[in-house]
Structure 1
Amino acid sequence: MRRRKHIKLRLQYSDAQDQPSERTVRPLGCFYWGKVWTLVAWCEARHAFRSFRIDRMVEVQAVEGAGGAFRDEPGKTLADFLRSVLPIDEQARFLPYFE
């Protein structure tokens, strides 16, 4: 079985106060939360999960070269993110699909 290749992204992002920032992230998935699409990712700068509204992304680039590729690491996966946001009774229903 071939492993999926994971590539980091560099985002030029504008927050809710219209303040620009640049983030390097490990993308985990895109989700629709009521009214907006978001990218859920592990943020390299904050060392934490973050959600980025897609409509606030000014520019997105793949990080090229060896520094751009990444492997799943404990504590930085989509399953880990879901554990942090889902109630315990919902985890048993959803986590098997992401582990």
Structure 2
Amino acid sequence: MWQHDGNMSRTDRLLRLMQGLRSLEPPVTAARLAGELGVTERTIYRDIATLRGLGAVIDGAAGFGYTVIEDASLPPLAFTDEELEALVLGLREVEAVADPHLGAAATAALAKLRARLPDRQAHRLKHAVLSAHRYFPPPSATVDLRVLRKAAWDEMEIRISYRDKHGQPSDRQVRPLQIVFFQDSHCLLAWCCLRRDFRAFRLDRIATLDVTGPSFRPHRTSLLRQHLERLRGQTDGFGETSREQI
């Protein structure tokens, strides 16, 4: 369920443990939790005790498994039934089309929602009428999209090795603005420092990615607005001129 590393902080481990107690089928054994987090069962026992000391209501014991009971003092989230269906549909779509890290984040978000909702709506979320599936998902990116998303948020220029639709390679210094999920591909909307113009790059055609700087803060929002306005002015919202760029 998680990709763990040896440098995980204790705080992060406790948060992930709580998330596991919420999302895995209860009662969850210490052995299962230890395997998910990459730690020993003894560590799980200590962390369960710590969570209880912090106020978490966790039923169960060693050898039987654990079940988390939400703190009744926390106010339930308030959604209409249609809002809830919309949230489920959106998060299921992310699970279906996003990279593994973002897909796992969508799964975790659904588990957190279910844990905080009133019983009736938690049941509705678990058995939602709406869902999303892709029999032919878009091609997977070959670079770490967490790095790309962070560079866009931090407004840092990146250098990419790219090949166009004809297979021609090029190196580009770009300002990443937004990742767009299209039906048949995912694209990076960016300002290309080489062409001195807006461009769209298919993620599955980016061979390498390096965050090089410099920072282009605080221009991301204004550049993105200009890029989207240009796209809206084309015939289909993402016209042939832009398609030729990718």
Alignment TM-score > 0.5, same fold: yes
Query: Per the alignment, in what secondary structure is the counterpart of residue 77 of structure 1?
Result: helix
May I ask how many residue pairs the two structures share in their alignment? Answer: 80
Query: Is 2:161 the partner of 1:12?
Result: yes
Deviation at 1:11, TM superposition (A): 0.4
* CA–CA separation in structure 1 for the residues paired with 2:156 and 2:219: 14
TM-score (norm 2): 0.31
* Greater share of strand: 1
Aligned counterpart, 1:51: 200
Q: Structure 1: which amino acid aligns with 2:211?
A: A
* CA–CA separation in structure 2 for the residues paired with 1:83 and 1:72: 19
Could you tell me which runs of 5 or more consecutive residues in structure 1 were left unpaired when the two chains were aligned.
Answer: 88-99
Aligned counterpart, 2:180: 31
Larger radius of gyration: 2
Matching of residues 63-82 of structure 1 within 5 Å: 63-64=212-213, 68-73=214-219, 77-82=223-228
Deviation at 1:71, TM superposition (A): 2.3
Could you tell me which runs of 5 or more consecutive residues in structure 2 were left unpaired when the two chains were aligned.
Answer: 1-152, 234-246
Aligned counterpart, 1:84: 230
- Segments of 4+ moved more than 4 angstroms: none
* CA–CA separation in structure 2 for the residues paired with 1:40 and 1:53: 9
* CA–CA separation in structure 2 for the residues paired with 1:73 and 1:38: 20
What's the C-alpha RMSD, in Å, of the aligned pairs? 1.8
